[in-house]
């Protein structure tokens, strides 16, 4: 039988990057998937001047694909501005992982949601700053995604 997971998924699962929780974070994103019950917390440190993610950590209580997706997404957005980070989609995460089995694509959506939720939290704590409109839009769209109908 062909292996279910790509080498990249297994590698990130075995050696997750940026795992843990930042003390005194600037943004926290708590998301969960109601279908499988998996949960993810993203914590961010943000440079207020440049609105750049200077540090990021994740804590995921979930399947291997969710852990690998969290690990990859933290690598993808670290050093990016918040606006750039919002452009990272679950598809980018899946590409970086080589592939995910169709029933596991929703795990990568959790990672995209976690980043958006943490960015939203950052702006909610900085009312002097303008939240990019795509934050709410993204969270709304991702919420409507039926995990069982995700294309692979």
Catalytic sites, residue numbers? 36, 107
Residues 6 or more apart whose Cβ sits within 8 Å of residue 103? none
| Site for ligand FES, rule CB under 6 A | 33, 36, 38, 62-63, 65-66, 104, 106-107, 110
The least distance separating ligand FES from the CB of residue 17, rounded to whole angstroms, comes to 18
Helix (H) / strand (E) element for 137: namely helix 134-143
Q: In the β-sheet with 27-32, what is the strand arrangement from edge to edge?
A: 27-32, 39-47, 52-61
| Beta carbon nearer to ligand FES, 9 or 85 | 9
3-state helix/strand/coil string of 67-135: HHHHHHHHHHHCCCEHHHHCCCCHHHHHHHCCCCCHHHHHHHHHHHHHHHHHHHHHHHCCCCCCCCCHH
Q: How far is the CB of 1 from ligand FES (least distance, A)?
A: 20
Question: Between residues 40 and 82, which has the closer beta carbon with respect to ligand FES?
Answer: 40
Least distance CB 41 / ligand FES (angstroms): 13
């Amino acid at each position: 039988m062909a292996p279910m997971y790509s080498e990249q998924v297994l590698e990130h699962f075995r050696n997750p990057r940026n795992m843990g929780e930042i003390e005194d974070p600037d943004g926290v994103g708590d998301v969960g998937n109601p279908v499988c019950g998996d949960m993810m917390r993203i914590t961010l440190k943000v440079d207020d001047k440049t609105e750049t993610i200077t540090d990021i950590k994740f804590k995921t209580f979930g399947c291997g694909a969710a852990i690998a997706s969290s690990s990859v997404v933290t690598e993808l957005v670290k050093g990016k501005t918040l606006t750039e980070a919002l452009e990272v989609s679950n598809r980018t995460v899946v590409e970086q992982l080589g592939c995910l089995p169709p029933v596991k694509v929703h795990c990568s959506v959790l990672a995209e949601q976690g980043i958006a939720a943490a960015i939203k939290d950052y702006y909610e704590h900085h009312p002097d700053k303008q939240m990019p409109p795509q934050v709410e839009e993204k969270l709304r769209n991702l919420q409507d995604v039926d995990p069982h109908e995700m294309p692979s």
